[in-house]
Amino acid sequence: MLEKKTLRTSDRDKMIDVTREVVDVVNASHIKNGQVTIYCPHTTAGITINENADPDVKHDMLMRLDEVYPWEHKNYRHLEGNSAAHLKASTVGPSQTVIISEGEMILGQWQGIYFCEFDGPRTRTYYIKVTKDE
């Protein structure tokens, strides 16, 4: 089962919790044992799994990524001016895979799935693919 999702981001850098959307697709698939892959087809955005209980974690992650990859740098050559977004997206990665067991995703108690925007605001897409164990 493959589902395409669309979202609108409101800030240049933002982590958007998409866990509920992924759970809904897994439930609709009726697959009891397998995996779900969440994939972002953009070069300036990504997917990560991290803490979803304390919003300060998102803040701290985005702050530190900005420190490591500043938006402006005298040696950047990319003419579009969003090299930092490309670097952040490569660091975070384009996808995550979660195991499904007995119809439930195996996530830690404090884990959530995030779409990470690094060059917004934009309209973005991501994909949720549920596959059954053979």
Peptide bond into 121 cis (omega under 30): yes
Q: How far apart are CA 54 and CA 59, in angstroms?
A: 10
Judge whether 110 and 51 are in contact, CB under 8 Å.
Answer: yes
CATH code where residue 95 lies: 2.60.120.460
Per-residue pLDDT of the chain (134 residues; tens, 9 = 90+): 999 999 999 999 999 999 999 999 999 999 999 999 999 999 999 999 999 999 999 999 999 999 999 887 777 677 676 889 999 999 999 999 999 999 999 999 999 999 999 999 999 999 999 999 98
Look at residue 134 in the predicted model and tell me its pLDDT: 82
What's the domain range around 33? 2-132
Look at residue 71 in the predicted model and tell me its pLDDT: 83
> Domain tally for the chain?
1
